[in-house]
Structures are given as C-alpha cells and as structure tokens.
Chains A and B, each alone.
Chain A
Amino acid sequence: MIVYLVRRFINYAILSMLATVLAYVMACLALDPKARYLGRNPRPSDASINHILDRLGTNPNTPILSRTTHWFSQIIFHGNFGLEYNSNSVAHDMFVRSGVSLQLLLLGSILGAFFGVALGVWGAVRQYKASDQVVTYSSYLVLSTPVFVLGVLLMIVATRFNNAVGHQVIQFTGQYTPGLSGRWNIIQDRVSHLFLPTLALSMFGAAEYSRYQRNAMLDVLSADYIRTARSKGRTRGAAMVRHGVRVALIPMSTYFAYSFGTLIAGSTFLEKIFSWHGMGEYALDAIVKNDINATAGSIFYVSVLVLISSTLAEVLYAALDPRVRI
C-alpha cells in the first residue's frame, strides 16, 4: 500500500515538475521584462537593460531553452528560484507570503469541506423537502457568484454591520493591525481580520462540496447494503449514518483534489480584495510587472499545493476505502 502511494506521489511530482517548467516557458513567451524599463524616464540604455536582465536570467535575447535549463538547474541544485525584478529573492518572498496564504487556504478549505459534507448529507436525506430545496438553491446562488463579487458583497454587508454596531467589529483590509500590543488584543484582531475572507472562501467551498456530497449520498441511499443494514434491525436513520455516510465520503476525497485548484484561485482573488500580502497577490503582481522569475515561482507554489492535495486525497481514499488497499 505504501509502495502504491509512493508511486502515485512520484507520478504527481513528475506532473507538477513538468507543469512548472512548461509554465516557465509560457511566462518567457508571454511576458516582456524589457517593457518595464522602456517606459522609464530617462530610458536606460539598451546595454544596461541587457545587463540587468542578464543578471536576472530573463533576457529575451538568450534562447528560451538555455534560460529554462539554467533556471531549472538552479532550483534543483541550489534551491534557488532566482531574483525578482527588484533583486529580492523569490524564494524568500515566497516563503514569507505562503505562510500568509496558507492561513486562509487551510482554514477556508477545511471549514468549507466540513460544512459542505454536512449540508450535502442533510440535503440528500431530506431530498425534495423544503430544507433540501433551500440548501440546493443557496448553493447554486453562491456558485453563481464569482468569488471576487462574493468578497466585495460581504465587505458591503460588513460595513453596514460595523456602522450599525458603531465600531469596527469586522476588519477587511490586511491580515492584522500593526502596532497592537497584548496577546488577547492581537488574537482578537487576527480573528476579526480573518473572518470575512475565510467566510467567503468557506461559503464557496461549502456550496461546491455540498453539491457533490448530496449526489454521492443519493447514489448510496438506494444501495442494496442500506437495505441489508435495515434488514438486520438498523432503523432508517441509523443505517444511513453508519453505512450510508461512511461510503458516500469515499468519492469526496477525489472531489477534494479536483476542486482544490478552484479554491486556490478563489483564495487568490480574496487576497487581492482583502489586501492580504500572500502568494495570490504576489502571482498577480508578478505578471503585471512582467517578472518572469516571480511568476514561475508562483506557479511552482501552486503546483506544489496541487501535488500535496492530490497525494493527500489518495491517502484519504485508501484510508476510507478498503477496496484500494491492496
């Protein structure tokens, strides 16, 4: 079993590695690092631009192949992701910023998964009743709302709320207020900053997972083994919980891996909207600034997250389903 999981991991790792390299090539093709300097006044000389770009390893005059191999070998052999346009270390910035991003991403996806599963089970058991309809339509409403719209709408609501209460209960810029003292104050401040973006992300996650879970649960509810459990003397409710939910959780691990990419994209929007200085903001800014190394680094970060979540999903799957444990 361990062997199997290790194989899967290697498989995903190769895919992630290739995707990152291809992303670097795409970034080289799409981004124009020269543009950043051409607009300056006074315009730097071609020689000095070339000099700067050569130092960053992003000079378009160097063939893409040799730039890619250089970049890639630097990562492999030195763990060096290169420099940003302003000569900061990509690796360092990524390290700091991913901490910020993971706070939101982990909290949001765990809460989203939990509420999604609960709502999905509840909806399926009460199929076509009013409560199921409410859950179904609310989840469709949330899924019909782009995450950035959801974020801004929540901000509008929070402003109203703060105004009604009279002071800033819910904060929505940045991840903390600088210069606070006292442990309790700091925790309170963090929570009040975390609240809105986490709510937005977990609402989105819950809406998506609840649809999947409801379908998985409906498939299971008509299964023969539920009938068997009842024929043994389990009541309807007990049979559903002990036998139904347990089996319906199995496909969720796969959906989790599938939808994780969407969650990463969603948290990227939310970082930008709520002015969090995380990896999402970093990635979007890097592209705007035509910064190839930072862009490729961001894609690397994303593909590592996807790699971890896919492997986690496999482990979860194996833990939930004895049929794959061979």
Chain B
Amino acid sequence: MTSAPLLEVRNLSVDFPQSGSTVHAVRDISYEVNRGEFLGIVGESGSGKSVSSMAVMGLLPASAQVSGDILFRGESLLAMNDRKLSQLRGNEISMIFQDPLSALTPVYTVGNQITEGLLLHDSALSKQAAAARAVELLRIVGIPAPERRVKAFPHEFSGGMRQRVMIAIAIANDPNLIIADEPTTALDVTIQAQILEVLQKAKEITGAAVVLITHDLGVVAGNADRIAVMYAGKLVETGSVDDVFNRPHMPYTLGLLRSVPNLITAGKTRLVPLEGRPPSLDALPPGCPFEPRCPISIAECRTVEPPLLSIGSVHEAACIRAPEIAAGKLSAADVFPRPEPIPPSDQAKVEGRTVLEVTDVKRYFDLTRGAVFKRQIGTVKAVDGVSFTIHEGEVLGLVGESGCGKSTTILEILELTSPQHGSIEIDGVDVSTLSKDQRLAKRKDIQVVFQDPMAALDPRLTIEDIVAEPLTVHNVAKPEQRRRVGELLETVGLDASMGARYPHEFSGGQRQRIGIARALATEPKLLILDEPVSALDVSIQAGVINLLEDLKERLGLSYLFVAHDLAVVRQMADKVAVMYLGRIVEAGPVDDVFARPHHPYTQALMSAVPIPDPAAERSRKRILLDGDLPSPTDEISGCRFHSRCPLFKVLDPSLQQRCLTEDPQLRVIDTSSAACHYVERNTLQVM
C-alpha cells in the first residue's frame, strides 16, 4: 500500500454537454502522482489541464459529465458524495487558484479565511489556537507583520500577497497533495519568483506532492520532477523534466520548445513559429488532433489518434513517428526548421533620422476622493521624468512590471498633445505646437498595436471595416480603401478574401495580425507596440514576433516596444530601457544591458525570469526582491528602489545614507546608463 501512488487518474474523460454539441474537454487521460513528487502539467488554454485538476478536486460544474476513475490513496474520489469529498478537500488535498484577486471572499478577514479551513477539519481546535496558527501560517508564507495583517481584508493585500495567503490556506492542514493551477500567471515576474519560492518552501514543510499546472515551460523547468504535456484534452507527452526538455518526442512539445524565446539565447536566432490553432473540442476530426499544425504529418495521422507510446523508462509520447524521432532520423531542425531572415535586398533603407524624442516627460495624477466635495488625498507620479529617443528602423524595448508607468508613458505619447511637463517630438516636430488639423495629419505617422487582440477589435465590425477605419479618418475613397485593405491583409500574412468576416472567427494570433494590419494602414513611421504578444498562447507568439521583425526590415519601421517579458524584448529590441516607479533606471543597447546589467533592479528582474531549460534553471542563483512595489502615493525620499534593493541591504550603513537621501540620476556606465549610486560596488551575480 505504501508504494502505491498517492493519486491515480485512470482513463479520465470530462464532457460538457451544450445545446447541440458536446465539448470533450478532457479525453481519456491517465497519470499518477507519487508521494512528495512535483509534477508539472503544461498546456495552452483549452488543453484541458485545469479541467482535469478540477475533476480531482470534485469542483467541476454540475453540467460536467465525468467518466473513468480517480483514486486517492486507493480510494475512488468519483464515488464520493460532496460531504465525503469535503472531508478530504483542504485536509488531504488542497488547491491554489490562478487569480488571487478573486479567489478570496472580499467580506471576511484573511485570518478568518485561514481559520475557517482549520476549524472545519479539526473540531477539537479552539478559536484562539486556530487564530494563533493563522498568524504562524502567514509568517511561514512570508507576510510581514502577520499579527497585524491577520485582521486585514483581502482588498488590503496586493496580488502577490493574496497568493501567499492562498498558499497559507492550502498548507493549513498539512495536506498530502497540493494542486496549483497557474498560481503565478496573473503576477509580475519578480513576484512570480517569490511565489514559486514560497511554493517550494510549502512543499518542503508539508512534504506534500505538488501538481503545478501552467502554460509557461520556464516555470516548470526549474521546479518539477516530472512533466506532462497536454494538447486538445489529451496527454501527448510525459516524462522526466530532462527527458521532455532535452529529448522531446512529440512534435507539439518540440515546436513549443523551439517557439519560446529564451532569455539567454534570445535575439541571436529567429524563432520558429508554430502556427494554426488547437482544434475546437466539440467537433474533433478523427486522427491526431495536432495533425493540422504538424509539419511531419503523414496520411496515417489523419485516421488514427495515436496512444501514448513508451520511449524510455518513464518517457512516453503520443506520436506515431516518435520512434523515428527517437532513432534520430528526424531532428528538431528537420521538424521545425528556422525561418530565413529577410534578405538584405528586400530590406528598406533607413537613414537613421530621429523619429521620436521624449524629453523629461512627467505625468502626475491627483488622487481625489468624494463625489461632490472633491479633496486631494495624494499625487500619483505615474511618469516622473522619462527621456528617450528612437531612430528610424530602431526598436526600443520599454520594460517594467505593472505599475511602473510604461503604459502611461505611451498613452502620453499617443495623445499627441502637450504633456504636463517635458516635450515630445515626433519626426522633429514638437507635438505641443500642432494645430487640430496638423495633429490629425500627424496621427498617420504614429500608430498603436494593443495587447489583447480580442479587445482591440470592435466585435461588431467586419475585418474590412476595422482595417479601413484609419483610412476613413483621412478621407480615402471607398474603392481605394478596399484595395488597401486587401493589400494590408496579405502584408500581415492573411488572406485578402477574409475581409468580410468578423473578429471572433479568427484565432488570437490572426486577430493580432489584423490589429497590425490596421496599424499599418496609414503607412506610419513609428509603431507603438503595447505588449503585442503577451496575451497570446506561447505557440502563437513566435509567429507574431517574426512578422513584426520582418515588417520592420521591409518597411523601415521604428518600434516602441512595451513589454514585461524580458526574453521577448531581448529577441526584438535594439535598445532597452528599464522602468521602475515612473523612472527609467537603466537604458542602453540590448546586448550590453542583458550581458552586463548595472542596476540592481535590472539584475533582479533578469534573474526572476524563468528559463525553459532545466539545467540552466537549476544552476541559477536568484536575486529575490523583498515585498511589493511601494504604493504609488508614497513619498519616497532618496532612491525610489531602496526599500526593495538587494544591493542596499548588503551595503555599509555609511554608504546607505546616500541611497536614503539622494535621488540617483541616470549616468553613463560603459555603453549604457544606470540610475544607481553604487554601480561600481555592485557585486550581485546574475545567472
């Protein structure tokens, strides 16, 4: 009995009947989790990875039809009723959810929500003892001043802190299995690193097995023992971390690994796009569900869905050509060859004029309260003196975590009006001098691509109307508009005949291409890309990144590329600027900044990015930041990073004084510049 697996999922299928059709969310999957094991389940949205774990918890909606069996320590969970399951949930099996902002009940204190689980499973526990244990748990998950914070409500916590509370709830009763469903997806990278650290600590303390569900290959690379890859409701590859990352045998896994930019290697080679989209789960064609996207599919793939085939001792892959891959007859480069760069003959000539010059721009918001009698309760310095230039054909990556002011910066540029402070020049023209008509004409030169391709396209207009919208502003004749739209759609790799369709008929990647086509309609000189790939599934990102790179080369465009993903920035940008609390703290050529980061924040940011390479992940040393971003209304004297700065902590107190009192300005160091007093004394190691 002791050698039996902790959790055994056998031939699990989950169907959701809907009017007219049935969605087969999970199709006949089997896996097991051993005691104390760390299993990573990887898959894109709609792959069934969350549904399968919800089935384990017994938390699927009532409409779900579940078949197969789930055994926990040999007992069937599916045979249990809600009351019986409730005795296991939170006690033996616990769960951490994706969105920490909505996972806690807003009307009860954090302490209440922790003790609730404790008291439910231990009727002998007194209220005082439970409260004391809640404080203890908050301390374990790293919440400062737990005695005080235990009485706080969820809305008084940041996202990262709430996720710590969720972990505290999950480990409260010393469970044997913790299921974590995308626990870090909604968080910034530095917070993600903290949470993964806490999760590892929780695992050590409880000795529980952990199932980590994620779409991010980097997140599992360093943490998991074993990995299961899901696609279209099926397990398509399982094995040890090293097997799956180093010797993938399912073309989907292979493609996924080649399409993800890696912080270390990014920018040196082109990415390999994995185009198309997963099949819809209510009308699956026969055969392998990956077949339409698979470059090495053969006739047989269209008729039989391949089962998991054993390759090594614990390594399995669901591909009928897996043996060929195992035998070395098909290499990764054969399956997914790297696309060629644009030949120099097709590249547009660029003269290197200055396209955008931003000088000392500031944007403060007054924080007011009250509807009739407004009173100011503080000032948010969203952007506090930002300067940069972009030349023709150049890509500037603006990097930072949420709340750093990067979005406000681009909105400030896009308004084309005089900023609160400082100046913005486009093509050598100061925007504050523009008349209304000139401003309208100027809008041709600067266009924007938004993050969420679904939100950026009006769902009620056809693709043709959407792409033509910028042209209608500038009074282009109808027939000319139509011709241009066709041309533009082909430019971004879509079929010109698709113009009559609506946005929802397209996949995320295609929608983002439509957004890019719209931005190109007026032949702009500068595109502002606001996180253009972060809302896309990983397998889709590479295609869009490649498209943007190609367009830049062909059309001689300049990009202001705003992102939080450092690997993507390294892949695309020529120059990079790192923002923290409304300021640029480090800037310079992308290779120099990434090879030799000078500012402790840049260093921490880089070390927090997970790398989809198990060997590299294990050998890394992380620089973890303490706590959260300070509240934007706080008045901070001296360096605005000092409260979280890892360098500050190791400095001599006599040197610290300067950080506390003097606001560091950007200064040139080697080829880049950084805003830190003690770059020369920085001994922190990255990677």
Interface residues in chain A, defined as those with a beta carbon under 8 Å from any beta carbon in chain B: 4, 7, 10-11, 14, 223-225, 227-236, 243, 246-247, 250, 320-323
With A228-B169, A232-B89, A233-B120: A250-B107 Cβ-Cβ less than 8 Å: yes
Report the minimal beta-carbon distance from A225 to chain B, rounded to whole angstroms: 4
Separation in Å of the B459 CB from the closest CB of chain A?
A: 22
How far in angstroms is the closest Cβ of chain B from A4? 8
Q: Does B296 contact A (CB under 8 A)?
A: no
B107–A229 touching, CB < 8 Å? no
Option from A14, A231, A322 in Cβ contact (under 8 Å) with B94: A231
Is B95 at the interface (CB under 8 A from chain A)? Answer: yes
Residues of A within 8 A of B97 (CB): 224, 227-228, 231
Q: Can you give 14 A-B contacts (C-beta < 8 A)?
A: A10-B372, A11-B371, A225-B106, A228-B113, A230-B59, A231-B94, A233-B87, A233-B89, A233-B90, A236-B82, A246-B107, A320-B107, A321-B106, A323-B106
Q: Mark interface residues in B67-84 (1 if CB within 8 Å of A CB, else 0).
A: 000000000000000110
- Per CB-CB distance, the 7 closest pairs between chain A and chain B, nearest first, are A233-B90, A232-B117, A232-B90, A224-B102, A225-B105, A231-B95, A322-B153
Could you list 4 further interchain pairs (A-B, Cβ under 8 angstroms) beyond the known A243-B105, A321-B107, A322-B155? Answer: A10-B372, A229-B116, A230-B57, A246-B107
Residues of A within 8 A of B121 (CB): 233
Q: For the complex, is B99 an interface residue (Cβ under 8 Å from A)? A: yes
In the complex, A241→B116 CA distance in Å?
14
Q: Which residues of A have CB within 8 Å of B94? A: 231-232
By beta carbon, the residue of chain A nearest B106 is A323
CA distance A209 to B106 in the complex (A): 23
Chain B residues whose C-beta falls within 8 Å of the C-beta of A230 in the assembled complex: 57, 59, 86, 89
Complex: A56 Cα to B88 Cα, angstroms: 78
Check A225/B103 contact, CB under 8 A, given A232-B120, A233-B120: yes
| CB <8 Å contact, A227 and B116 | no
- What are the residues of chain B within 8 A of A234 when measuring CB–CB? 86, 116, 120
| Residues from 113 to 141 in B contacting A, C-beta threshold 8 Å | 113, 116-117, 120-121
Question: In angstroms, how far is the closest chain A Cβ from the Cβ of B82?
Answer: 5
Task: Tell me, in angstroms, the Cα distance from A110 to B225 when the chains sit together.
Answer: 60
What CA separation (Å) do A4 and B370 show in the bound complex? 8
Chain B residues within an 8 Å CB radius of A233: 86-91, 117, 120-121
CA A227 to CA B96, docked complex, whole Å: 10
Which residues of chain B are within 8 angstroms of A4 by Cβ–Cβ distance? 370
List chain B residues, Cβ under 8 A from A236: 82
Q: Could you tell me the distance in whole angstroms from the C-beta of A183 to the nearest C-beta in chain B?
A: 44
Residues of B within 8 A of A323 (CB): 106, 153, 155
A232 CB to nearest B CB, Å: 4
**A residues in contact with B99, CB < 8 Å:** 224
A247 lies within 8 A of B59 (CB): no
Query: Which of A4, A227, A233, A236 neighbours the largest number of chain B CB atoms within 10 Å of its CB?
Result: A233
Q: Do the beta carbons of B373 and A7 come within 8 Å of each other?
A: yes
Q: Which residue of B is nearest A249, CB measured? A: B107
Q: List residues of chain B with CB within 8 A of the CB of A235.
A: 82-83, 86
Closest partner residue, chain B, to A14 (CB atom): B372
B residues 357-384 in Cβ contact with A at 8 Å: 370-373
Q: CB within 8 A of B102: which of A11, A223, A250, A322?
A: A223
Closest A-chain residue to B99, C-beta based?
A224
Min Cβ gap A16→B in Å is: 14
Give complex CA distance A234, B59 in Å: 11
Indicate if B232 sits at the interface (CB-CB under 8 A): no
| Distance, CA A234 to CA B57, complexed state (A) | 12
Residues in chain B near residue A228, CB distance under 8 A: 97, 103-105, 113, 166, 169
Q: Which residues of chain B are within 8 angstroms of A321 by Cβ–Cβ distance?
A: 106-107
The interface residues of chain B lying within 8 Å CB-to-CB of A14 are 372
Kindly list chain A residues whose C-beta atoms are within 8 Å of the C-beta of B370: 4, 7
A-B contact count (CB 8 A): 84
Interface centre among A10, A14, A231, by most chain B C-beta atoms within 10 angstroms, is A231
Which residue of B105, B113, B371 contacts A247 across the interface (Cβ within 8 Å)? B105
Cβ–Cβ contact B117 & A224, under 8 A: no
CB of B373 within 8 A of CB of A322, answer no
Given contacts A227-B59, A231-B89, contact A247 B120 (CB under 8 A): no
Measured CB to CB, the nearest residue on chain B to A229 is B105
Q: Which residue of B lies closest to A226 (CB)?
A: B105
In-complex Cβ contact of B59 among A231, A320, A322 (8 A) = A231
Q: Are B120 and A225 in contact (CB under 8 A)?
A: no
- Whether B82 and A224, one on each chain, are in contact in the complex, defined by CB atoms closer than 8 angstroms, is no
Please indicate the chain A residues that have their CB under 8 angstroms from the CB of B83 in the complex: 235
Measured CA separation A323–B108 after assembly (Å): 10
- Known A228-B169, A322-B153; judge A247-B106 contact (CB<8 A): yes
Residues of B within 8 A of A224 (CB): 97, 99, 102-103
Q: Is the CB of B57 within 8 A of A231?
A: yes
The interface residues of chain B lying within 8 Å CB-to-CB of A227 are: 59, 97, 103
A262 CB → nearest B CB, Å: 24
CA distance A122 to B104 in the complex (A): 24
Residues of A within 8 A of B155 (CB): 322-323
Residues of A within 8 A of B373 (CB): 7
Q: How far is the CB of A227 from chain B (nearest CB, A)?
A: 6
A-chain residues with CB within 8 Å of residue B371 when the two chains form the complex: 11
Q: Which residues of the other chain, B, contact A250 by a CB distance below 8 angstroms?
A: 107
Give the nearest-CB partner of A246 in chain B: B107
Q: How far is the CA of A167 from the CA of B116 in the complex (A)?
A: 56
Chain A residues within 8 Å of B95, by CB: 231
Query: Would you give the shortest CB distance from A247 to chain B, in whole angstroms?
Result: 6
Please determine whether A11 and B120 come into contact, CB atoms closer than 8 angstroms: no
The answer to whether A247 touches B86, judged by C-beta atoms less than 8 angstroms apart, is: no
* CB neighbours of A247 from chain B (8 A): 105-107
Chain B contacts for A231, CB-based, 8 A: 57, 59, 89-90, 94-95, 97, 170
- Cβ contacts under 8 Å, B90 to chain A: 231-233
Judge whether B102 and A225 touch: CB under 8 Å.
yes
A232, B169: Cβ atoms closer than 8 Å: yes
- List residues of chain B with CB within 8 A of the CB of A225: 102-106
**Which of B57, B89, B166 has the most chain A CB within a 10 Å cutoff?**
B89
B409 CB, nearest partner CB in chain A, Å: 29
Residue in chain A with minimal CB distance to B370: A7
* CB atoms of B107 and A322 under 8 A apart: yes
Closest to A236 in B: B82
Complex CA distance for A227 and B372, rounded to whole angstroms = 39
B105 partner residues in chain A, CB cutoff 8 A: 225, 228-229, 243, 246-247
Report B139 CB to chain A, min CB distance, Å.
Answer: 20
- With both beta carbons as reference points, the residue of chain B lying nearest to A323 in the complex is identified as B155
Q: A224-B99, A231-B57, A236-B82 are in contact. Are A11 and B372 (CB under 8 A)?
A: yes
B residues 648-670 near A (Cβ < 8 Å) are: none
- Shortest beta-carbon distance, A55 to chain B, in Å? 39
Please determine whether A232 and B106 come into contact, CB atoms closer than 8 angstroms.
Answer: no
Q: Are B59 and A232 in contact (CB under 8 A)?
A: no
The CA-CA distance from A49 to B95 in the complex, in Å, is 82
Complex interface: chain A residues within 8 A of B86 (CB): 230, 233-235
**Distance A11 CA – B170 CA, assembled complex (angstroms):** 45
Instruction: Give complex CA distance A10, B94 in Å.
Output: 49
CB distance from B368 to the nearest CB of A (A): 13
In the complex the two chains form, what is the Cα distance from A176 to B297 in whole Å? 88
In the bound complex, how far is the Cα of B105 from the Cα of A250, in angstroms?
Answer: 13
Q: In the assembled complex, how far is the CB of residue B116 from the closest CB belonging to chain A, in whole angstroms?
A: 6
**Distance in angstroms between the alpha carbons of A321 and B90 in the assembled complex:** 26
Identify which of B83, B105, B108, B120 gathers the most chain A CB atoms within 10 Å of its CB.
B105
Instruction: Quote the shortest CB–CB distance from B310 to chain A (angstroms).
Output: 34
Task: Enumerate chain A residues within 8 angstroms of B117, measured Cβ to Cβ.
Answer: 232-233
CB-based nearest A residue for B117: A232
Q: A232–B107 contact, CB under 8 A? A: no
**In the bound complex, CA of A246 to CA of B116 (Å):** 15
Q: Chain B: which residue is nearest A325 at the CB level?
A: B153
**A56 shortest CB reach to chain B, Å:** 35
Alpha-carbon separation in the docked complex, A10 to B155 (Å): 28
Bound together, the chains give a CA A92 to CA B117 distance in angstroms of 59
Q: Tell me the bound Cα distance from A323 to B82 in angstroms.
A: 32
A31 vs B3: C-alpha distance in the bound complex, in angstroms?
92
Contacts of B170 in A (CB 8 A): 231
